Each structure stands twice: as structure tokens, then as C-alpha cells.
Amino acid sequence: MNEILLELESIPWGLIAPLVIIQLILLVVALVDCFRHNNTNGPQWVWVLVIVFGGIIGPIVYFIFGRRND
Amino acid sequence: MNQWIILFNKEMKEAIRNFKWIWIPLVFILLGIIQPVTSYFLPDILKNFGGFPEGSMLEFPLPTGPQVLAETIGQFGQIGVLVIVLAFMGIVAGERNSGTNIMVLVKPVSYVAYIVSKWLHMSLLAISSFSIGFLLASYYTFQLIESVPISYVIKGAVVYSIWLLFVTTLVLFFSVLFKSNAGVAALTLGITIIISLMSSITPDLLRWSPGMIASHSHSIFQSGEAGEYFWLSISCTIVLIILMIILSIINFKNKETVTHTT
């Protein structure tokens, strides 16, 4: 248990935090857009899965290919 | 002049509704942060996961600041360009397919204003995303690795943004020329990759080519001085950009008048 805590403390969170925050912003914006925009390119639930589990790439792929602009 | 502002605002509004003004800058910021951070941790990562035998004393030198900045530019040149091309592949072709441009063009709008306002908006978005991403990249590099003279950083970034302008112009040019979005993206990416590859393989033959710009900005980060034939490749690129904009306008005019009369 102690080892895990030490390991966690050794991670420089100050460096990682901005990455996590930006990733979260991308995820939330993509999800909000996906739910609001009902005509996605393909089934909506697939895009929700892609956004949530796609890591950094997921929201970007959704923005490029998932939206149908009309 | 009024009509230019209106058309530009229309582009702006569309991009804000598409969240392009959020996600494209965020992608560049992510790329800009990730590169210095991974360079900083690379020795640790290799030590822990590199699979070197126990007790082998390998010292991994930390890369220098200019090197990290050049690697960041490399990331922007690959993933960043990919994102810009995919985001803007439908800028004219998509509007033509969905018929939006007819709604705009029935009004007394000049073709020049239509194309140039699109180009201005695209370039503004691309350049501002690049600048904010690169600002963060240099901040992280300064904090983690070492500082590079700020005038070098700014000069190199300005030089590199000319290459980005070339890419956005290429997307616009092909988007006017072709109907399918995928074709536009494939052609633009193919041409940018070929240009940069050829320029790194045979730099002597392609001194004038836009693909040399990236290597010029690398040498500016290193020493503050661009390589040989710097002005030749810069002026060639600018001439190519202007030519492509003019050709896009002419092409667009021809295509639209043909579809309107038939």
C-alpha cells in the first residue's frame, strides 16, 4: 500500500495536470455536441463510445468524421 | 468592404458552431505540451521499460532546447497538418455538395470576396492554433530543458507559419477543384508529404521548394540564422500561395457560372 502511495507521489502531477484538463475539455465538448446534435454520421451510441474510450484521439475523430453539417 | 466583413463573420460563426475554434487549438496545445514532456522523461522511460540488462550504465543525454523545439515543429508538421487538412477539406467542396454556396451566391457577392474570406478565416484559425500551441511548447521547453533565445523562437515560429499558410492554401485550392472531400484531403496530404520528403532527400535540387521551410526554422532555433537560399524558398512559397488563391478564384468563377447557366 505504502509503495503505491510513494509511486503516486513521485508522479509530477504539475506537469501532467494540463494534459488531463485539456483532454477532459475535449471529451466534454465532444459529448455535449454529440448529444445535442442528433444527426451524427452513423449511430449515436457508437460515437459516444468512441469519444469516451478513444483517449485523446476519440473526440478529435468525432469532430472530424462524426458530425454531419447541414 | 462591407461584404467581406459579412462573409468573414459567416465563416467565423460557422466555425464556432462546429467547435473548430475549440478543438483545433486544443489539439495543437496538446501536441505542444506532450513533446517537451516526453523528451524530459525519455531517460526515465527508457530506464524503466527499455529492457536493458541490469547494471548497464547507459547515460541518455537530455536533448537540447532547440532540438525539442524542432521535434515539436515536426509533430505540428505531421499531426497538426493532418488535423488542419481534415478539418477544412470540405470548405468549398462540402458547401457545394450541400448547396449552401448557392444561397450565398444568389446575393450580389463577388467570387473574390467569397474565396478570400474563406482563406483568411482558415489561415487565421491555423496560425492562431499553431501560435498558442507553440507558445506552450516553448514555455515547457524553457521550464524543463533549457531556454533558447526568445528572438530565435519567435523568428522560427514566424517562418514556420508560412508553411502552414501554404498548406491551408493548398486545401482551399483542391477544395475548389474537386467534389469529394476525401479526394481533397488525400491530394493535399499526399502533396505536402511528397514536398517535404523530396526536400529532405534532395535539398540541392529543391532549394526553392516550400518543403525547405521546416528545416530553415530548425536552423533558426539552433543558431538564429536560416540556412542557405532562405529567401529563395520563402519568396517562392509566397508566390505559390498568391498564385493558388488567384487560380482558385478563377476556377470557382468558371465552375459556378457553368452550373448556373445549365
Residue in B19, B29, B30 closest to A33 by CB: B19
- In eight-state DSSP terms, residue B63 is P
Q: B262 pLDDT exceeds 60? A: no
In a domain, B50, yes or no: no
Q: Which residue of A has its CA nearest to B24?
A: A60
Domain that holds residue B135: 2-43+60-256
Residue pLDDT, tens place only, A19-49 = 999 999 999 999 998 888 777 888 889 999 9
The number of distinct structural domains making up chain A is 1
Q: Name the more confident of A68 and B260.
A: A68
What lies within 8 Å, CB to CB, of B243 at 6+ separation is none
In a domain, A7, yes or no: no
In a domain, A58, yes or no: yes
Q: What is the pLDDT of residue B56?
A: 63
Q: Name every residue in A having a CB less than 8 A away from some CB of B.
A: 15-16, 18-19, 22-23, 25-26, 29-30, 33, 56, 59-60, 63-64, 67, 69-70
SS3 A68: coil
Contacts of B94 in chain A (CB under 8 A): 69
Element (H, E) at A9: helix A2-10
Q: What is the pLDDT of residue B252?
A: 93
Chain-chain contact of B37 with A70 (C-beta, under 8 angstroms): no
Domain that holds residue A45: 16-66
In a domain, B262, yes or no: no
Q: Name the more confident of A5 and B37.
A: B37
In a domain, A6, yes or no: no
Q: What is the pLDDT of residue B41?
A: 86
* Per-residue cell: B220: 533558426
Q: What is the pLDDT of residue B161?
A: 96
| Helix spans in chain B (H) | 2-17, 20-49, 65-75, 81-88, 93-98, 100-105, 111-144, 150-177, 181-201, 213-223, 230-261
Q: What is the ipTM of this complex?
A: 0.86
The number of distinct structural domains making up chain B is 1
Chain-chain contact of A60 with B34 (C-beta, under 8 angstroms): no
Which residue, among B10, B16, B22, B23, would best test binding to A if mutated, counting the most A CBs under 10 Å from its CB? B23
Q: What is the pLDDT of residue B58?
A: 65
- With bands split at pLDDT 50, 70 and 90, how would you rate the model's confidence at B53? low
Instruction: Give percent above pLDDT 70 in chain B.
Output: 94
Q: At B87, which amino acid appears? A: A
Q: What average pLDDT does range B3-20 have in this prediction? A: 92
Q: What average pLDDT does range B160-188 have in this prediction? A: 94
Q: What count of CB pairs under 8 Å joins A to B?
A: 42
In a domain, B216, yes or no: yes
Residue A56 Cα, gap to closest chain B Cα (Å): 9
Report the half-sphere exposure of A64 (CA within 13 A, side-chain side). Answer: 19
Looking at beta carbons, which pairs linking B33-36 to residues 24 or more positions away fall under 8 Å?
B33/A18, B33/A19, B33/A22, B33/B136, B33/B137, B33/B140, B34/A19, B34/B75, B35/B68, B35/B71, B35/B72, B35/B75, B35/B137, B36/B68, B36/B72, B36/B137, B36/B140, B36/B141, B36/B144, B36/B145
- Closest by Cα among B17, B251, B40, B21 to B127: B21
Residue in B23, B34, B83 closest to A26 by CB: B23
In a domain, B171, yes or no: yes
In a domain, B261, yes or no: no
Residue pLDDT, tens place only, B74-121 = 999 999 999 999 999 989 988 888 888 888 888 888 899 999 999 999
Chain-chain contact of B23 with A56 (C-beta, under 8 angstroms): no
Q: What is the pLDDT of residue B260?
A: 61
Contacts of B22 in chain A (CB under 8 A): 25, 29
Q: B170 pLDDT exceeds 70? A: yes
Map grid coordinates 532540438 to a residue.
B67
Q: What is the pLDDT of residue B140?
A: 94
Map grid coordinates 497538426 to a residue.
B80
Q: What number of other Cβ atoms are within 10 A of residue B70's Cβ?
A: 21
Chain-chain contact of A60 with B94 (C-beta, under 8 angstroms): no
Q: Name the more confident of B49 and B33.
A: B33
Q: At B104, which amino acid appears? A: V
Backbone angles phi, psi at B82, to 5 degrees: -55, -45
